[in-house]
A and B are shown apart, each in its own frame.
Chain A
Amino acid sequence: MSVTEYIRKSQIWRSIFRHPAPYDRRNRAVVVLTNFFLHLHPVSAKKGGIALSYTWCMGGITFFLFLVEALTGVLLMFYYRPTLEWAFTDIRALRDVNTLGIMREIHRWGAHAMVITVWLHMYRVFLTGSYKPPREFNWVIGVLLLVLTLLLSFTGYLLPWDQLAIWAITVGSNMARATPFLGHEGPGFQLLNVGGFDLITNASDARFLLLGARTVGEETLNRFYILHCVAIPIVVSGLIAIHFWRVRKDGGISQPL
């Protein structure tokens, strides 16, 4: 008996993988059905639908990048404290003293890449007309995922707390000042007043809600940290699950009728 055979026959192995290796047709179907990770897939699919030149694998790569970001992100969280005192120094230490410092590079480039792949995925879905019935609603979920991907990237941009970070976030969030009705420099905010007192001021408008302060400061860092590391990832995970479920329930990857 060879070593691999010995391992495969052992009780431990068989308790983990409840079927023989996928050597033949039957077991290739069984492996997809019984494995938790593989059961995202159908057992079989149309050749044209899974062709790389058709899907560009962009949805899959986006998902993979999300997983990479989650993993490297958790590792980075071990080394990072979101306070004015430490944020910048902790990031610099990743560069200068930490063995795991390259995680920051992978996390940052992965984030850029994810923004690009999510656009290209949308591009492909549009160009193949895959948003057409019955897949309309999955497209809508996709647009939400697109927004959240951008917000994930945006909130993460602040965390290094360097000049690049705070000014990019300042420029980006200044827009919220001008929200109609809800920004203190937006059209119509004067209409929201009670007895001559403006309800919308620079300490109560949409921008304040976003930043937790009048300007980008420690409150903002805290807020963005929580959004970036907890709130948005949870929502994105949920939506990705629904997105995948719907791909299956809407009849698999689109193909000509």
Chain B
Amino acid sequence: MEPHPDLTISVIRGLGWLYLLMSLLNICWTFRSHKHDGYYNRMFGIDHLPKSMFWAIYSALLLVLAAVHLVFSADASSFLLRLPSWFKVAADTVIANPISFFCLSLVIFIAIIALRKWWVQPTVAWILFNLSVLFLAVSMTDYDFRQIVGKPDNVPIVGMLYLVGFTTWLYFYKANDNDERIAEGRPLAEKELSDQVLVWPDLVYSEMICMILVTSLLIVWGVALQAPLEEPASAVKTPNPSKAPWYFLGLQEMLVYYDPWMAGVVLPSVILVGLMAIPYIDFNTKGNGYYTFDERKFAIITFLFGFLPLWVGMIVLGTFIRGPNWNMFGLYEYWDVHKLEVLNNVNLSEYFWHGLGQPLPKPDAEAPGLSQVLTILSREWLGILLTLAYLFVLPPLMAVTVFKKFYVKMGFVRYMVLANLVLLMASLPLKMVLRWVFRLKYIVAIPEWFFNI
């Protein structure tokens, strides 16, 4: 028997239960659809065809699928329902490449915002949810996918993705509603619930139900999945890859583009200071205490960009896609320690001096300290100038152009804080693009002082 089988009987059974669950959920959805969705006037030559027909057929198909998985008892290797390899190859090519990965997450991000009126419609959202579960389910028929997604410590990330998806949906659903109300001059949805109610029973009971649900979830989770315990610690056996805990993998991913002092110290501090500064730099008094998008577009888009593609997206990348030697691997790819990725990145100063046809100025170790410093600075002058310009010239420029309104309303200090925070956040995707397009390593490279940007 194969050591790494794509399918085993227990995987097939597990999928059977999953399809059964999905079928039941979709049967519920069929009833909902029957109540709300109405009819097609004429379709396939039939008058008055209820839209819920399609959900009924789909649920039935899922039920058949579940039955097939649950009763199958022959050799697992002869089971035919599995992910075709052309799909695996195609998906891996897209995912295991930083450029297409980030383009993809950017496209999704833009679609979430631009198509917000479309995708939050319950039917569309339900279809998207179904597609994601089906994707997960068929992917489970791949051995390598199971190894990485099924790891006990990675399971919460899948859960988080669904929760983030659901809450984002809920936000846009409510914000769209309120935005329509505002546009039409009707009162906000929250306003319609402004009567006072007693906390007992209206709040304490829902709290108690929450507590019971969370407790049972934890117990079920604890029984179903054993907490990981690997070999005893050994200071000499370095695992490859060595990963930080999953919630820090966004930071670890930044190490690809920034040196540790930036990725591990400066940028995390900037994130925290930036978060704390939000209430003091957001001068927009609208949108306090209700869901809205139209009334605070800039704030929402900036925050969503930081949270969805940068924070959550990079956790996904760091957990599921970064493998040995921090190389990128497709979801269905074996984590080969010997996979080679040619890395030869070039510093800006090297581009500059070699472009001029000159060697890099080298500080003379014998020379007095000051002249060494001057040599280093003259070697890196272009990068230093660009960095300073980015942080200190760009904000005033933006103040008289794109951010004019902000500057007038915010005053100098607040504006500068905002501009620098936005620029620092933008510097990450910017550096990524520079890396991919120009193979740029450091803009300022002073390894002598551990000072690389």
Contact = CB atoms under 8 A, between A and B. Distances in A.
Interface of A: 22, 25, 28-29, 31-32, 38, 41-48, 50-54, 56-57, 60-61, 64-65, 68, 88, 91-92, 95, 102, 104-106, 108-110, 112-113, 115-116, 119-120, 123-124, 126-133, 135-137, 139-140, 143, 146-147, 150, 153-154, 157, 160-168, 170-172, 174-180, 183, 185-190, 215-217, 254-257
Contacts of B280: 136
A112 B156 contact: yes
A46 B171 contact: no
Contacts of A129: 286-290, 292, 296, 299
B234 A54 contact: no
Contacts of B278: 126, 131, 139
B233 interface: yes
Given A41-B204, A113-B217, 20 more contacts: A44-B199, A45-B197, A113-B156, A116-B160, A116-B163, A120-B167, A123-B307, A128-B287, A128-B290, A128-B291, A129-B288, A147-B272, A163-B239, A166-B235, A172-B245, A176-B264, A187-B451, A188-B449, A190-B449, A256-B194
Q: Is the interface of A mostly helix, strand, loop or mixed?
A: helix
B193 A47 contact: yes
Interface string B275-315: 11011101001111111100010011001000100000000
B232 A163 contact: yes
Interface residues of B, number: 93
Interface of B: 153, 156, 159-160, 163-164, 167, 170-171, 174-175, 188-204, 206-207, 210-211, 214-215, 217-219, 221-223, 225-235, 237-239, 242-245, 247-248, 251-252, 259-261, 263-266, 272, 275-276, 278-280, 282, 285-292, 296, 299-300, 303, 307, 446, 449-451
Contacts, number: 269
A54 B289 CA distance: 9
Given A47-B193, A106-B222, A147-B272, A91 B210 contact: no
Contact of B199 (A50, A56, A174, A185): A50
A47 B195 contact: yes
Q: Is the interface of B mostly helix, strand, loop or mixed?
A: helix
Nearest to A187: B451
Greatest chain B CB density within 10 A among A95, A109, A153, A178 is at A109
